[in-house]
């Protein structure tokens, strides 16, 4: 059975709850987007307006309702602190594939929450019938590349000028994982 993006399940790990993204989550996401190290490799400028983040989150929620994407917010089980987001975009049910992306606040990096969340989402994706996931990293984003490699993602290739950052084209790597 292929994942139904319009009804994403709540996932729990040892320390995290992955809950479907809601418009209300924009308030927690906005401060994280103010860290240039968190945004390294994103092809979007650092937002300076919470309403802009709210509109972007609304777009993701709408895409979930339409069945095109699935997004979760990551919060600790102890204290419900926001630590990041993870999502599956461009879900293609026919070909059983999706594009995966994640963002973690700086404080979450040293806690290894990323690996915990990735494990939960990969398990959910495989169990729902997806067979291929792809991801993208900016060239030089070694932390993200190392995490993808740890989960078995393989580099597919280099995309010259694949990201637009600060008005300049930057190279990125494409990754794939066969489930």
Pick the CATH number of 11-135 from 3.30.70.1560, 1.20.1250.20, 3.40.630.30, 1.10.3720.10: 3.40.630.30
Q: Which residue has the higher pLDDT, 170 or 157?
A: 157
Model confidence at 71, pLDDT cuts 50, 70, 90, reads very high
Q: Kindly list the domain boundaries of the chain, sorted by start residue.
A: 11-135
pLDDT tens per residue, range 3-38: 566 678 999 999 999 999 999 999 999 988 888 777
Model confidence at 43, pLDDT cuts 50, 70, 90, reads low
pLDDT exceeds cutoff 80 at 65 = yes
* pTM score: 0.89
Burial of 103 per CB tally in 10 Å (0-12, 13-18, 19+): buried
* Mean pLDDT calculated for residue range 67-87: 94
């Amino acid at each position: 059975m292929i994942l139904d993006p319009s009804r994403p399940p709540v996932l729990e790990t040892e320390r995290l709850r992955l809950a479907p993204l809601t418009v209300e989550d924009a308030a927690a996401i906005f401060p994280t987007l103010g860290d240039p190290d968190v945004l390294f490799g994103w092809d979007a400028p650092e937002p300076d307006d919470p309403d802009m983040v709210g509109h972007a989150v609304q777009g993701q929620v709408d895409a979930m309702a339409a069945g095109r994407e699935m997004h979760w917010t990551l919060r600790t089980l102890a204290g419900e602190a926001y630590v990041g987001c993870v999502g599956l975009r461009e879900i293609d049910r026919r070909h059983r594939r999706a594009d995966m992306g994640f963002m973690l606040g700086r404080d979450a990096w040293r806690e290894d929450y990323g690996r915990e969340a990735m494990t939960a989402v990969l398990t959910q994706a495989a169990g729902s019938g997806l067979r291929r996931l792809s991801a993208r990293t900016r060239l030089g984003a070694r932390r993200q590349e190392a995490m993808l490699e740890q989960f078995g993602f393989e580099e597919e290739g280099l995309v010259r000028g694949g990201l637009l950052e600060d008005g300049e084209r930057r190279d990125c790597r494409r990754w794939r994982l066969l489930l």
